[in-house]
Chains A and B, each alone.
Chain A
Amino acid sequence: MSLINYGYAVWAPLIWVLALVVIGVMVLIWRSRGQKGYKKETAQTDIFLSGAKVPSEEERHVKADNIYWGFFESLKELYDAMMKPHTGIVNDYLLWFVAVAVIAILVFFLAG
C-alpha cells in the first residue's frame, strides 16, 4: 500500500477508498430502511414549503450571484451610475476613449 508519511499526518489513498466504500454501504443500508409508502407522482413526493404552493423550478432557482445581493443592494447607486455609460455599443466606447484622451492631453499640457 502506498503510504506517505508527513511526520504529522499520513496519506494513504487505499484507506480513503475503503472508508468511502464503508460509508457508502452504511448510507445505502440506512436509505433502504426508510419510508417506502410514498405514492409517486402525487403531492406526497412534493417539496414541503410550510404548506405554501411550491413555485416552478425556474422560479425557485437561486443563482450563484445571489450571494452578492447585499453587496449589489448597498452599492446600487454606484452600479446604476456605472452601468449607464456601458451601452455595449463600440462607437460609444470610442467616444469615451477620445473624450478621456483629450482631457488627459489638455491636463498634461496646461498643468505641466
Chain B
Amino acid sequence: MNLKNFNRALWVYHMNTGSCNGCDIEILAVLTPRYDVERFGIQLVGSPRHADVLLVTGPVARSMEDSVRRVYAQVPDPKVVMAVGNCGIEGDVFHEAYSLVGPIDQIIPVDVYVPGCPPRPEAIIYGVVMAWAKLERLAKQAKQEVA
C-alpha cells in the first residue's frame, strides 16, 4: 500500500458501547508483542480529538447512544469508523434486546466492518489496513478539493 496523502502514524480511539469485553481483549491482543501493531505507528489514544479512526465495539446500549454520536462528532476530519465484532455489526445474540439502539451503523456511518465473536487479531489488523486505505482516499479527495 502506497500512502502518499495520509502519510503519518494512525491513531485509533477505541469506544466500548456495551460490549462483553471479548472484542476489547482481542483489540488489546493486537498491541501485544505477538502482533505489535505499534511498530507500524498504529496506536490507541485516549481522546477522539487525537484520533483518525474511531473503533467501536458493542451493540450500542440505549444509554450510550448520545455518547457515540458526541464522540464521533469530536473526531477531526478525515475520519473513519470501524465496527469490530458481530454485536456492533448486527446485534448478534443481543439483537432483540429492549435496551439496545444499535447496530452501530444505525447511529453513525461505519466504513469498515470486522465480523467475528470475537474477531481474531489478524482480522482486526486487516480491518485497520482497510481503514488506512480509506483514510488515504479521503485525504486525497480533501487535497483535490483544496487545489
Q: List residues of chain A with CB under 8 Å of any chain B CB.
A: 35, 37-39, 42-44, 46, 48, 50-53
Contact = CB atoms under 8 A, between A and B. Distances in A.
Contact of B73 (A35, A43, A50): A43
A44 B78 contact: no
Interface of B: 15, 47-50, 64, 66-68, 70-71, 73-78
A48 B15 contact: no
Nearest to B48: A48
Given A37-B78, A48-B47, A51-B15, A42 B67 contact: no
Contacts, number: 37
Contacts of B50: 35
A37 B76 contact: yes
Contact of B70 (A37, A38, A39, A43): A43
A35 B74 CA distance: 13
B67 A44 contact: no
B108 to A, nearest CB: 12
A35 B76 CA distance: 9
26 contacts: A37-B77, A38-B49, A38-B76, A39-B76, A39-B77, A42-B73, A43-B70, A43-B73, A43-B74, A44-B49, A44-B73, A44-B74, A44-B75, A44-B76, A44-B77, A48-B48, A48-B49, A48-B71, A48-B74, A51-B15, A51-B64, A51-B66, A51-B68, A51-B70, A51-B71, A53-B66
Contacts of A42: 73
Contacts of A51: 15, 64, 66-68, 70-71
